Amino acid sequence: MTIDQRTSGGVIILDVQGRMNIEVLGDLLLANKVRELLQQGHKQILLNLGGVPSMDTTGLCNLVEAYLAAIRRDASLKLLHLTPHVRKLLLITRLLTIFDAYESEPDAIARFQSNEPV
C-alpha cells in the first residue's frame, strides 16, 4: 500500500493505493499518517480510496483509528471514491453511517469548507 499526499483548497488529500489488509498493513500505516498530519495542525483530511481494491478488518481498523484521531483533535476526515468492495464492507459493518463519503473530489472539498454533513 502506498499513500501519496497533496493539497487542494486547504484540504489534505491522501491518495491510497493498494490492498488494505493484514498482509500489507502490519501496523496502522494510514492511521499513523493521519495522526502525523493532525500533529502538524491540519484539520481537514480527505482519504481517496479509489485505488483500494480490497480491505479486511485490519484496513477497517486503520480507517476507524484515523477517524478517531481526527475527532479527538477536533478535525474532519472524509472518504472519497469508495470502490465497490470497500463500499460494501463499510455498509455491512455500518461504518458508512459514521463516515462522510463522496464520489466527487470538488463536492468533498466544498463540504469541508461549508462544514455541512452529507
Phi, psi at 98, each rounded to 5°: -95, -45
What 3-state DSSP class applies to 15?
strand
Cell of 39: 500533529
Intervals of the chain under pLDDT 70: 24-27, 115-118
Predicted pLDDT of residue 117: 46
pTM, two decimals, is: 0.92
| Beta sheet of 76-80, edge-to-edge order | 2-8, 11-17, 44-51, 76-80, 100-102
At 113 the pLDDT is: 80
Domains of the chain by range and CATH? 2-114 (3.30.750.24)
Q: What is the pLDDT of residue 1?
A: 86
Residue 77 contacts by C-beta under 8 Å, 6 or more apart in sequence? 34, 45, 46, 47, 66, 67, 70, 71, 99
CB 12 within 8 A of CB 42: yes
Residue 68 corresponds to which amino acid? Answer: L
Instruction: Give the cell for residue 47.
Output: 482519504
Using only C-alpha atoms, the chain has a radius of gyration, in whole angstroms, of 13
